Structure 1
Amino acid sequence: GNCSNCLTQFEVEDVTDMARAAVRYVATRPMRFGKSLIADVLHGGNTERIRQMHLDEDRGYGELSSESVGRIKDIIGQLCGRGYLVTSQGQYPVVGLGPRAGEVEDEAFAFTVKRRASKRKASARARRAVDLLREEAELDQRPRVGDDAELFERLRTLRKEISTELEMAPYMVFSDKALRGLCRLRPQTRDELIQVNGIGEKKADAFGEQFMAAIEEFESEHARDGA
């Protein structure tokens, strides 16, 4: 839990359109070019090699002109790592279609990558959520085991673990507002869980048990501390 991967905050970014563009271009010229040249073409580079090979006439040329060549290369590398594309062996590896290439044309296809989160932005949002929790707790005045703000941080950590494992944005698990609702209502059953604003049947089924278990564990710990 102390390596740079564990200590660094990450966000999940949807790059589905970039992934589709890369796989579709490779499909037109499989096992012909390496990552660098493919990235240059998709970026819309005006290099001598591209002009000599008339790659600026290819369908897909410049499709990702708003992205850097390095970023496109990184996406191609991740596509190779997940089986959508493959690279050949040898001194000059070229890129071809992988066993999962056909999946990119499926409407349900989604491709996400992790990137470093802005610590300043994330911490400011968390502080605001904690302030709201404490304001709401003062208005509610119901007795609770443990501090809502402390529970919120624990649930936020759980949300991050789940979102990282599933390669999805944290808000797609539960929003901050839903986490605040969990802290206030402390649900113990599924029926109580779906009373929390922002938690419907689908999310309750997918994530409810883990969050209710975390709440129960939190309350048990603080009940022992107060005994």
Structure 2
Amino acid sequence: YRVRERGKRCGARMLCDILQGKKTKSIREAEYDKLSTYGLLGDVSRTQLEHMVNILISREYLLMDTSQYATLSLAPKSRDVLLGKETIQMALPQKDLKQTQRERMLAGMPDYGVDETLFQKLRRTREKLATREYVPAYIIFSDATLRDMCNKRPANAEQMLAISGVGKYKMDKYGEAFLKAIAEYTAEHKADA
């Protein structure tokens, strides 16, 4: 809201930097360090803050305009939140997800509860969309969301909306590509069976 008041727009990364009170050159040049919200969430970990932003996007309180370098804007429904008429509740990760050496090693290992071939197909689909839209891959869907897709294998929009991390906005924007990838994979593997 405060960024918009200045007639400017920013992306998720910059928003997190502003809220954490980062002292970057771009923040100083845009005078974001003079905003009343600058550093407001300095005690929140980066992981938690990014999680909050992603939830606000998935719940459609924030809109991402990918035609303008993935800039964020307030959705109409965020007005009630700004006016204090509505509160948003969300679960945050308990610990900062800075990986230890052991966690980094395990991160490269397959999740045995997920079909690794399908997971990689969904990751490639996500990467194509991210490249096309000039956004980081996690903005499309997180790995956790892709794993949930692997486990549940949605076949239509209604089922896709039941996947953790998929809201109406993301379903409308990206859902068809992932439904198609899952359907192709399922058809290929039925033929193999």
TM-score by length of 1: 0.40
Higher relative contact order (CA 8 A, sep 6+): 1
Q: Which has the larger radius of gyration?
A: 1
